[in-house]
Amino acid sequence: GNRNHIGMGWKPTVSRNVPFVVVTFSSRELVKEKILEWKMLRSCSENNVEKKTNGKEKPEGDVVRLSTLENLAIGITSALIAGVVTQPIDVVKTRIMTQAASNAVPYKNAIDCAFTILRTEGWRKLYSGFAQRSIYMCGLWGITFSLEPVLSSYLEDKNGE
């Protein structure tokens, strides 16, 4: 009966979600670091130009920060990278979870499912639904990463009172 199929998709779901989150946060840190380095270099070169032109210097304590828009872009970029890495796993997860409702011969496991898709439908089928999933994930992670610094700063200010 249906009882045997209830938990069929948990392994592929975890196998997709864990790498997705790891890749999202790892790529976030990498992209964030590169943007901050670029902003720091730009700030230093502008500071040197200012020194030569008008003698005014920026204080040493200036910290380069990311804007809300930059954090939004980082979230979108990170979600896209993670989506490219994990979309084949998502397709396999969906196939395994929906096979109980179909008349198709069931897959033995996730590996069998992936190789069957490759053999019978081609590698591009492993990326079906990527655009739709990207819209959702890019929005979700873009908003999350753009609001996180704002909310953290607000909470730190509240705790300091």
Q: For the chain, what percent of residues have pLDDT higher than 70?
A: 84
What span, in angstroms and rounded, lies between the C-alpha atoms of 50 and 62? Answer: 15
Burial class (CB in 10 A: 0-12, 13-18, 19+), 61: exposed
Which tens digit of pLDDT belongs to each residue from 66-103? 999 999 999 999 999 999 999 999 999 889 888 878 88
Band of residue 54 on the pLDDT scale cut at 50, 70, 90: low
Distances (CA, A) of 115 to 92, 102, 105, 106, 134: 10, 19, 14, 13, 24
Q: Write out the two tokens for 80.
A: 């896209």
pTM of the model: 0.78
Asked if 75 and 144 touch (Cβ cutoff 8 Å), the reply is yes
Average pLDDT over every residue of 41-70: 70
Mean pLDDT of the chain: 86
Which of residues 53 and 42 earns the better pLDDT score?
A: 42
Angle between helices 10-54 and 68-98 (to 10 degrees): 170
Residues ≥6 apart with Cβ < 8 Å to 14? none
DSSP secondary structure letters along 47-78:
HHHHHHHH-----TT------HHHHHHHHHHH
Q: How high is the pLDDT of residue 1?
A: 45
Burial class (CB in 10 A: 0-12, 13-18, 19+), 41: exposed
Q: Write out the two tokens for 92.
A: 């396999």
Q: How high is the pLDDT of residue 19?
A: 94
Residue given tokens 């790498």 in the structure block: 19
Q: How high is the pLDDT of residue 9?
A: 60
Q: How high is the pLDDT of residue 52?
A: 53
